[in-house]
Amino acid sequence: MRSDANIAGPMADPVPGPRSAESAGGPLSVPPGFGSDVSRETLPPMDDTPIGRAAQMAVEALNRTGEGLPRPAQTRVMVVANQKGGVGKTTTTVNLAASLALHGARVLVIDLDPQGNASTALGIDHHAEVPSIYDVLVESKPLSDVVLPVTDVEGLFCAPATIDLAGAEIELVSLVARESRLQRAIESYEQPLDYVLIDCPPSLGLLTVNALVAGAEVVIPIQCEYYALEGLGQLLKNVDLVRAHLNPKLHVSTILLTMYDGRTRLASQVAEEVRTHFGKEVLRTSIPRSVRISEAPSYGQTVLTYDPGSSGALSYLEAAREMALRGLPGGMAVEYDPQPQGEQHNEQHPHSMSEGIQ
């Protein structure tokens, strides 16, 4: 069968004008030096579309996690606590844990919130029949019997919470050494770990006290709104009480500003007040408001695996790096930048908001 090209005959010259004999059929005459700097296999430029840019950022973020971080000399047990709800405790716990694990650390998340949101975000089943942290606290079951691996992130593990944990506050009252049951469970856990992150409920009850006794460091997420500052003083008083009577090693090591919206003056004012009041405990990295962070749990993922190139994922990666480096010997000497990138300076409100921290 003949093609249409063979039937149609010779094609008309698309470029009118005189042509040399060489260009008609012989070798082309190329001026000296022409095209010497151009590769014949030059790749097309990166797709400058929103999808292309997002893909490029995702690749860069994942490559960044492969760099690794220095591992702590001993396990760092960190309590993520704030009695105010909705400030980002669970979101901070799971995303910091995933960031550390992606950097090569072995991380255990202990879900102490009866709602089980941390378990959901990590894709761990936490219905009533699942062995959970409730069995560890009330039934004295070994922690290793309830810990499950997170399938999406290598090196990340979770001790889930079930609705049974809602009654643990009452059941713990009559038990011996009720404040230190979680501490003993962690100390008897034999698998090597670099970090243990404990997600606390939004209260200052026995579950939170157990976490404060078990941990050495307190991580406080603070939403960049005025209400988030109210009641923070009570949490700090509780930390002081636990340190004085139950856990001398306990201290506030990290404060993380969450839901930061650089378009508003209020967010900048709250950030400035917190940095002025707490100084070097505040991470220089702030977590922005991000739809991707909110969407990720509905898919049973952290934002690091759901959209690694998003602003939220990049911020948590940087916060985890900063937190890890602070934990090294002498690592607390992280220079405090009073004007961190992304937080624009605004006029000071005439009424100081630090009254809420008192």
Asked if the model's pLDDT at residue 215 lies above 60, the reply is yes
Q: What is the mean pLDDT of the chain?
A: 80
Note whether residue 76 is domain-resident.
yes
Contacts of 170 (CB under 8 A, 6+ apart): none
DSSP secondary structure of 93-118: HHHHHHHHHHTT--EEEEE--TT-HH
At residue 282, the 3 state secondary structure works out as strand
Nearest CA-CA partner of 294 in 111, 107, 86, 125: 86
Report how far residue 213's alpha carbon sits from residue 195's, in angstroms, rounded to the nearest whole number.
Answer: 16
Residue 253 contacts residue 222 (beta carbons within 8 Å)? no
Residue 70 contacts residue 331 (beta carbons within 8 Å)? no
DSSP state of 167: G
Asked if the model's pLDDT at residue 349 lies above 60, the reply is no
- Give the pLDDT confidence score for residue 48 in this predicted structure: 58
Note whether residue 3 is domain-resident.
no
**pLDDT single digits (tens) 21-63:** 444 445 444 455 544 444 444 444 545 555 445 545 555 555 5
Q: How many domains does the chain have?
A: 1
Q: What does the buried/exposed string (b/e) look like for 277-299 if buried means 16 or more CB atoms within 10 Å of the residue's CB?
A: bbeebbbbbbbbbbeebeebbee
Note whether residue 34 is domain-resident.
no
Note whether residue 315 is domain-resident.
yes
Q: Which amino acid is at 56?
A: Q
Phi then psi for residue 318, to 5 deg, are: -70, -40
Note whether residue 264 is domain-resident.
yes
**pLDDT single digits (tens) 140-187:** 999 999 999 999 999 999 999 999 898 888 999 988 889 999 999 999
Nearest CA-CA partner of 216 in 186, 189, 248: 248
- Give the pLDDT confidence score for residue 63 in this predicted structure: 56
Place of tokens 């190139």: 309
Note whether residue 94 is domain-resident.
yes
Report how far residue 182's alpha carbon sits from residue 356's, in angstroms, rounded to the nearest whole number.
Answer: 31
The CA–CA distances, whole Å, from 81 to 87, 148, 204 equal 10, 23, 9
Asked if the model's pLDDT at residue 316 lies above 60, the reply is yes
Note whether residue 61 is domain-resident.
no
**pLDDT single digits (tens) 222-278:** 998 877 777 788 889 999 999 999 999 999 999 999 999 888 898 888 889 889 888
At residue 256, the 3 state secondary structure works out as strand
Lowest mean per-residue pLDDT among 134-143, 260-269, 343-352? 343-352
pTM for the whole structure: 0.76
Q: List helix spans (H) across 83-231.
A: 89-102, 117-121, 133-138, 168-171, 181-187, 206-214
> Mutual orientation of helices 50-65 and 311-326 as an angle, nearest 10°?
20
Note whether residue 349 is domain-resident.
no
Q: How many residues does the chain have?
A: 358
Report how far residue 233's alpha carbon sits from residue 211's, in angstroms, rounded to the nearest whole number.
Answer: 18
Report how far residue 44's alpha carbon sits from residue 195's, in angstroms, rounded to the nearest whole number.
Answer: 43
The CA–CA distances, whole Å, from 117 to 29, 45, 94, 223 equal 71, 42, 10, 18
The CA–CA distances, whole Å, from 100 to 44, 176, 245, 313 equal 35, 35, 31, 12
Owning domain of residue 175? 72-329
What number of CA atoms fall less than 13 Å from residue 131's CA on the CB side?
12
Chain Cα centroid distance, residue 83: 20
Q: Is the torsion defined by CA of 187, 190, 194, 198 positive or negative?
A: negative
Domain with residue 153: its CATH number is 3.40.50.300
- Give the pLDDT confidence score for residue 325 in this predicted structure: 92
DSSP secondary structure of 16-55: -S---HHHHTS---PPTTTTTTS-TTPPPPP--SHHHHHH
